Amino acid sequence: MRILVTGGAGFIGSALIRKIIAESNFSILNIDKLTYASNINALDEVKDSKNYQFLEMDINDRESLAKALIDFKPTSIMHLAAESHVDNSIENPGKFVETNVLGTATMLIESHNYWKLLSEELQNSFRFLHISTDEVYGDLEETGYFTENSPYMPSSPYSASKAGSDHLVRAWHRTYKFPTIITNCSNNFGPFQHKEKLIPKTINSIMRGESIPVYGDGMQIRDWLYVEDHVDALIEVLKNGTVGETYNIGCNNEKTNIELIKGICKIIDSYDEFPIKGKSSEDLIKFVDDRPGHDRRYAIDATKIKNELLWQPKKNFEAGIKETIDWFYANNRN
């Protein structure tokens, strides 16, 4: 198997590539623009592998993308390249449309052009896996879960741009019979995550003794998925998922933001170096104005992927968050 991965220097993409290189003989071409959120150092352990190649490139560069496809000859594509931070999408929505919508369109156009050149056998085994988010569904009331049949009701420019990309992927399958699959995942966490995200921001704020900003009342609920479990699911979908289908990936680890933050504070306070100046890390919590259009609750029903592909998360939340905190502490990520 020869897999072209877009956005492979990002948080989820780099975890995916590390897993594939470590556990298979598959060949990987990583295409990444290396934006501010990329971390090429997250791929240090695989950079010298004979099965790994890296190409710094914008997925909207159609000519370079077409050449990369012909040169590498992928048997599958895993499309993760995306702008993903909601706050940034509110400040600069055009960038999110450019990357998430137009970038996905470019990927589909050029990948389909490449696919048409393949033999019938290779066309039948080819897969275009589009990695998306549960935020496309909007938010939930206090009960209920997102399923693969939930209506799309995105709230932010980010989630709207991801919804648009999902619709394009489905259209290419319906119109051109292009072999696509979509996954929609809940909030990821783990080592190497960018500092702008909630968990790394909380950890780093405590380590620096700075205030921990909490939007609104902090009672927004998220379903947390350890990144290693997510990439296991993605590999399973690539290998055994049904063309044209969507798979929701989540862990039923629902926590309010304030519950999550206080839990991190408690763990860090148990370390010898903390609490800072003899105080509880919770003293650093500062409630700030809620962001516009902030979704109240996300929760994933992952029954389909568990029943059809026999995927199960391996890491419980408590172990995963402890490992994540330890990693950020050991690596002093600022």
CATH code at 123?
3.40.50.720
* pLDDT, tens digit, 9 for 90 and up, residues 185-211: 999 999 999 999 999 999 999 988 899
pTM summary value: 0.95
The answer to whether residue 298 scores a pLDDT higher than 80 is yes
The answer to whether residue 300 scores a pLDDT higher than 70 is yes
The radius of gyration of the chain from alpha carbons, rounded to an integer in Å, stands at 20
* pLDDT, tens digit, 9 for 90 and up, residues 105-124: 999 999 999 999 999 999 99
Residue from 135, 223, 228, 229 carrying the catalytic annotation: 135
Residue 205 lies in a domain: no
Residue from 58, 134, 166, 229 carrying the catalytic annotation: 134
Residue 203 lies in a domain: no
* pLDDT, tens digit, 9 for 90 and up, residues 322-334: 999 999 988 875 4
Residue pair 234/129 in contact by the 8 Å Cβ criterion:
yes
Which residues, 6+ apart, have CB-to-CB distance to 177 below 8 Å?
A: none
135 is catalytic: yes
Residue pair 76/3 in contact by the 8 Å Cβ criterion:
yes
Residue from 158, 226, 247, 298 carrying the catalytic annotation: 158
* pLDDT, tens digit, 9 for 90 and up, residues 219-272: 999 999 999 999 999 999 999 999 999 999 999 999 999 999 999 999 999 886
Among 187, 204, 151, smallest CA distance to 297 is for 187
Residue 71 lies in a domain: yes
DSSP 33-46: ---TT--GGGGTTT
For residue 201, give both structure tokens.
């921001």
Residue-number span of the structural domain to which 12 is assigned: 2-193+225-254+296-315
Count structural domains, the chain.
1
283 is catalytic: no
Residue 155 lies in a domain: yes
134 is catalytic: yes
pLDDT computed for residue 101 by the predictor: 98
